[in-house]
Amino acid sequence: MQSSRCPRSAESRTFTLIELLVVIAIIAILAAMLLPALAKAKEKAQAIACTNNVKQLMLGAYMYKDDNRQMNLIDRIVVAGPVTATGPRAGNDGNTYAFWVDSVGKYVGDNQVFICPSDSAEGANCCIQAVRRSYQPNLETCPRCPNNRTGIKDSLIVQPSQTFHIMESNYNTSACYPDQGSYAMPGNCPARHNGGGTIGFADGHVSWTKWTDLNTAQYGGLKVANFTLAAD
């Protein structure tokens, strides 16, 4: 027995041009509403990853201290070769250096920890074989020493909860000096995460800090007290 229903025509199964335009317009509106939220969620995830990076670097720095009589890292020290891919490294000045990134790298085990996921800058290396990095040590706690010198003892840090130890830097591959002098350089404070950056403090805690919360006109937005730690 044949059905009395009539088959739908081809015309009834298609959208009209106006209907298609309406659907496209609705999709565009929804996308415009969702994209800012997605971008914010992505940045939040990158900020969390950056915080985790600094926590791992701080843990590596503490493990280094435990193995070196509670002496803090040294930013760099002139050593005798041979030069290798994991240190010592050749500097542009003809010297061979052991760098803090290699001291910490032995404990964290992954050079990607040195790169903030929001940092796309490449920059010029401060050394011939420098590890690309988004973070730098405070030279007051991690001094640049001549031969046969050690780092700063924890006992010389008088305000560890307010003292920068490892922090984000815009000069991720072109300078190693996030002390009060270099941070007075315009643009060194990296506002990668909603106007602020991630800082690891000398007492071990890590936090996001908005640079404007630390403003002083003299030192490029950072208080000198956050860097000057050693009691003579």
**pLDDT tens-place string over residues 167-189:** 888 764 433 444 455 555 556 67
Give domain status of residue 163, yes or no: yes
Give domain status of residue 118, yes or no: yes
DSSP letter, residue 139: T
Give domain status of residue 146, yes or no: yes
Mean pLDDT of 108-116: 87
pLDDT band for position 2 (cuts 50, 70, 90): low
Task: State the CB neighbour count (10 A cutoff) for residue 65.
Answer: 16
In sequence order, the β-bridge partners of residue 135 are 168
Q: Report the largest interatomic distance among the alpha carbons of the chain, rounded to a whole angstrom.
A: 105
Residue pair 100/76 in contact (Cβ under 8 Å)? The answer is yes
CA distances (Å), 27 to each of 15, 23, 132, 153, in order? 16, 6, 41, 60
DSSP letter, residue 193: B
Structural domain for 85, as ranges = 42-226
Give domain status of residue 145, yes or no: yes
Instruction: Tell me which residue of 149, 145, 128, 160 sits closest to 230, measured CA to CA.
Output: 160
Instruction: Return the minimum-mean-pLDDT range out of 111-120, 154-163, 179-188.
Output: 179-188
- pLDDT over 80 (residue 225): no
Give domain status of residue 174, yes or no: yes
Q: Give the predicted TM-score (pTM) of the model.
A: 0.74
Q: State how many domains the chain has.
A: 1
Give domain status of residue 30, yes or no: no
Task: Determine the Cα–Cα distance for residues 70 and 166; give it in Å rounded to an integer.
Answer: 17
Instruction: Return the minimum-mean-pLDDT range out of 83-87, 177-181, 225-229.
Output: 177-181
* Percent of the chain surpassing pLDDT 70: 71
Give domain status of residue 16, yes or no: no
3-class state of residue 152 by DSSP: coil
**pLDDT tens-place string over residues 22-79:** 888 888 888 777 777 666 777 788 889 999 999 999 999 999 999 988 888 888 888 8
